Chains A and B, each alone.
Chain A
Amino acid sequence: MLLGLLWAAVSGTVAKDLPSPAKTWSESKLYIMAPWEKRGEMDQGILRMASYSLYRVAKGFLLAILIGTPLGFLLGSSPVLFKMFDPAIQVLRPISPLAWLPLGLILFRQSEPAALFTIALCSMWPTVINTMHGVRSIPQDYLNVAKVLRLSGWKKFTKVLAPATLPYMFTGFRLSLGLAWLVIVAAEMLTGTPGVGGFLWQEYNSLIYSHILLCILTIGMVGFTLDRLMGMAEARLKAA
């Protein structure tokens, strides 16, 4: 509410180019009321656009956890590997998606794999780090149980290591998904593919500012929903 009032006040006074809430609504109505309609490549209902982005994020995120989880397990269970790779991770982690994307484009020569490459590379670090942390903080008691029961390597992994690490892994997944959603906008902007980010950039270029606001609100809402869903899954997991 307060934010809406502030928005109305700012758009009426200092920032004349910023569309007012009413104007944003009237110009975006078409996209919101017919959320699934496809009128053209870059002219589609907002939910349809968001679904393209979500699909892309899902693929990138899946890639991130498929690589990140085993990597985290590996680094968590071997101090030698940890020492070898930790500096590299610390250097790779703060690199912006805007920096990875051109590299992806050079490597893959196509926008779609480049976008997935960027999402995966940027979003996997929380999964790697949390999984690693989880493996390292498994109570010695559980490891002793594995030893005295003489569990085989695989049994030890499925019955002791993995269940003990699962809550940490899930926290990592949740943070990774949040990051993946952050990255999608940047990736779509630069590659110009259909999706909320691509739409946002296109509407900026076509000077329809109200649609930028529509996109921003959509991105926020979808991100919030994703985080909530992951939070619920996490809570169920911890209760079990």
Chain B
Amino acid sequence: MALIELRGIGKSYGKRDVLRGVNLAVEEGEFVSIVGASASGKTTLMKIASGLVTPDEGEVLIAGAAVTGFPRNTAFVFQNYSLLPWLSAVENVRLAVESAFPEWPKAKQTEQAVKYLEMVGLGAATAKRPSQLSGGMRQRVAIARAFAVEPRILLLDEPFGALDALTRLTLQQELAKLCQAQEPRATALMITNSVDEAILLSDRIVALGRGPGASLSAAVPVSLARPRASDLMMHDEEAIWVRGQVSEFLASSGDGGAAKRAAARAVANAVAVEA
């Protein structure tokens, strides 16, 4: 049985149909990415999957039970970090630990928070407020906060969307490392606008078509061995094939001219490298 299951999800805001007939099943321990252009309803889909928004049609099942409110043993990473500005880095992480493991003694909760901050390379910045940290460091805190609760399910909503390209590459690798290191591996669902990012991290990729009334493509499996290098997309045949598949779906769905051109370009590049 799938751990996370979306069944016939539909959602509209007023007259605007955002999602229609979205079906997805994520198996325990699997990392699935949903790739879509901006304004395609990705974030809405993620909010529905996490119980923050109720769908108009269909249902979300976690371990077979219908979701009401944010599920247990789940961590969420927001695009805009969403750290509390009045708490230091360690306090931000600790708040999550405290809420997840209320029975732990205080010292152990703090220890856990510090341990995860160290894992993302912020051991020296634990006492800093979010305003004193760079965007990349803030997202590291947010990632530490997510992993520190030892979640069974990890929901990532464009986790690197607000970062510059270089920071993005580094953090993608760190996220991959954290996912690999976790025992047992969390089941992860990530939303992203970057096909490359999805290839780097996922076991399977689905593409979300253009709205209105967007739905998902068939899943494209990624069986590349881990750890995967960032420049994989340039050389590896499978990576290039996956990118072609996803880009094609993105380009063919809906009428987004810009998305179509961008995707066509991506495919052309891939072919050029292949030849």
Chain A residues in the interface with B (C-beta under 8 A): 141-142, 144-145, 147-152, 155, 159-160, 163-164, 240
Contacts and interface: CB of A to CB of B under 8 A. Distances in A.
Contacts of A147: 52, 69-70
B86 A149 contact: no
B159 to A, nearest CB: 13
B135 to A, nearest CB: 15
B84 A148 contact: no
A157 to B, nearest CB: 13
A142 B83 CA distance: 8
Given A148-B50, A148-B76, A163-B86, 10 more contacts: A141-B82, A142-B82, A144-B78, A144-B82, A145-B78, A148-B70, A149-B100, A150-B70, A151-B99, A159-B87
Nearest to B72: A150
B84 A152 contact: no
Nearest to B74: A148
How big is the B interface, by class? 20 to 34
A152 B99 contact: yes
Nearest to B149: A149
Contacts of B69: 147
A155 B87 CA distance: 13
Interface in B188-232: none
B95 A148 contact: no
A149 B70 CA distance: 9
A149 B82 contact: no
Interface in B94-117: 95-96, 98-100
Interface of B: 50, 52, 69-70, 72, 74-76, 78, 80, 82-84, 86-87, 95-96, 98-100
Residue of B50, B86, B87 with most partner-chain A CB within 10 A: B86
B17 to A, nearest CB: 23
18 contacts: A141-B82, A142-B84, A144-B52, A145-B82, A145-B83, A147-B69, A147-B70, A148-B52, A148-B70, A148-B76, A149-B99, A150-B100, A151-B99, A159-B84, A159-B95, A163-B84, A164-B86, A240-B86
A150 B72 CA distance: 8
Nearest to B81: A141
B166 to A, nearest CB: 25
Contacts of B70: 147-148, 150
A222 to B, nearest CB: 33
A3 B131 CA distance: 46
Contacts of A142: 82, 84
B80 A141 contact: yes
Contacts of A240: 86
